[in-house]
């Protein structure tokens, strides 16, 4: 009997020790909440995916893929802190219309126009084009402002299985005539462009907010060149067979000194050390294209100049966003870090334009 009591006591002590150790581990490890991690209040070199950048009330803001759209801010572009997520709770219209979407929201875009911040976001699941792009607006990005409140405006554009495009990775631009355009796309038939009907933004139209039919402005062109793919690229494309091998995504349009520049990502993200993402650019005098590279090749036919690819620090760099802040262009993207076992890290550079009006990234 004594032996049983001693064994039971030792077992109880052991359980308490393990429980205490587990509690300590849980306290030390970041835990995902809705839209953010429990992390130190301030941190550097953040993990991030699909970032875009903005500046408001003296702080820089990064929005990125995450539950409810991840948000963090910085006063100096070096030290960051997490802010509250944008979509909390996740919009019911998206949960009800996109199979598999439960709040993990991809690839946002942030733009300021006519006194409002426009945040476009993607609702989807890997390898499927049953997707939707939504829009939320706010008067400010500063969470301490009394005007701070995200208002969801609902559906912008949807894709279904029979469409030849995928409604993710949105980016909005207002052209020099004041028209609002949306570019988006991933795999399938590549990068799409269409005009937004601004009258529909407040209409809650179940058919979305587009004024024109989408047109393809950029392709990787792998669909027609399957025999030219490496075995590795063929294997990767077969992981999402519905998407095909047209490995292009994440468009971003800017206007600078007479040209519209279209940035896209080629090849494959999300593979850690096997990621071979590349950031590519072309330009046009018109927002609708054609977007040509420096050799005159049309991006709709596979053209594009590589701006950043694998180097000494990254296996690949892509899914970029740009913003002009106090006259200076900034470029953000995520890079798969060689120093950190292929983890996806925030990459940030200033942008200049050379004598031939092509963008260059500063060291």
**Number of other residues whose CB lies within 10 A of the CB of residue 94:** 25
Task: Return the H-helix or E-strand segment holding 192.
Answer: strand 191-195
d(CA 307, CA 93): 38
Contacts of 303 (CB under 8 A, 6+ apart): 282, 291, 292, 293, 295, 296, 297
Reduced DSSP (H G I as helix, E B as strand, rest coil) percent helix, strand, coil of the chain, to 5: 15, 40, 40
Active site residues: 50, 249
Assess contact for 307 and 294: CB atoms under 8 A: no
**Number of other residues whose CB lies within 10 A of the CB of residue 236:** 18
Contacts of 157 (CB under 8 A, 6+ apart): 132, 133, 167, 182, 184, 194, 208, 209, 210, 214
Assess contact for 266 and 280: CB atoms under 8 A: yes
DSSP class of 177: T
Question: Which of 149, 120, 131, 8 shows the shortest CA–CA distance to 54?
Answer: 120
């Amino acid at each position: 009997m004594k032996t049983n009591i001693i064994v039971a006591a030792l077992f109880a002590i052991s359980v308490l020790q393990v429980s205490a150790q587990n509690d300590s581990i849980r306290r030390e490890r970041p835990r995902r909440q809705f839209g953010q991690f429990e992390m130190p209040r301030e941190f550097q070199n953040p993990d991030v995916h699909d970032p875009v950048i903005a500046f408001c009330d003296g702080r820089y803001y990064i929005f990125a893929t995450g539950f409810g759209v991840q948000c963090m801010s910085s006063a100096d572009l070096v030290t960051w802190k997490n802010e509250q997520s944008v979509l909390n709770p996740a919009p019911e219209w998206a949960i009800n219309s996109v199979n598999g979407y439960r709040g993990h929201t991809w690839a946002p875009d942030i733009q300021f126009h006519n006194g409002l911040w426009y945040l476009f976001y993607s609702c989807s699941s890997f390898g499927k084009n049953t997707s939707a792009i939504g829009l939320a607006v706010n008067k400010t990005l500063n969470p301490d402002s009394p005007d701070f409140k995200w208002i969801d405006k609902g559906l912008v554009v949807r894709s279904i299985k029979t469409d030849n495009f995928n409604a993710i990775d949105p980016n909005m631009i207002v052209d020099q005539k004041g028209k609002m355009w949306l570019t988006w796309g991933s795999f399938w038939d590549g990068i799409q462009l269409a005009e937004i009907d601004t009258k529909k933004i407040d209409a809650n139209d179940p058919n979305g907010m587009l004024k024109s039919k989408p047109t393809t402005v950029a392709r990787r062109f792998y669909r027609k060149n399957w025999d030219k793919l490496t075995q590795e690229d063929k294997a990767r494309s077969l992981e999402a067979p519905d998407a095909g091998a047209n490995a292009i995504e994440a468009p971003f349009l800017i206007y600078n000194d007479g040209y519209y520049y279209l940035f896209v990502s080629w090849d494959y993200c999300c593979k850690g050390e096997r990621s071979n993402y590349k950031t590519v650019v072309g330009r046009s005098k018109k927002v609708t294209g054609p977007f040509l590279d420096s050799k005159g090749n049309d991006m709709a036919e596979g053209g594009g100049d590589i701006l950043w690819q694998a180097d000494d620090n990254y296996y690949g760099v892509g899914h970029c966003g740009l913003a002009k802040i106090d006259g200076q262009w900034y470029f953000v993207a995520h890079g798969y870090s060689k120093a950190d076992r292929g983890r996806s890290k925030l990459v940030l550079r200033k942008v200049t334009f050379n004598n031939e009006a092509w963008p260059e990234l500063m060291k």
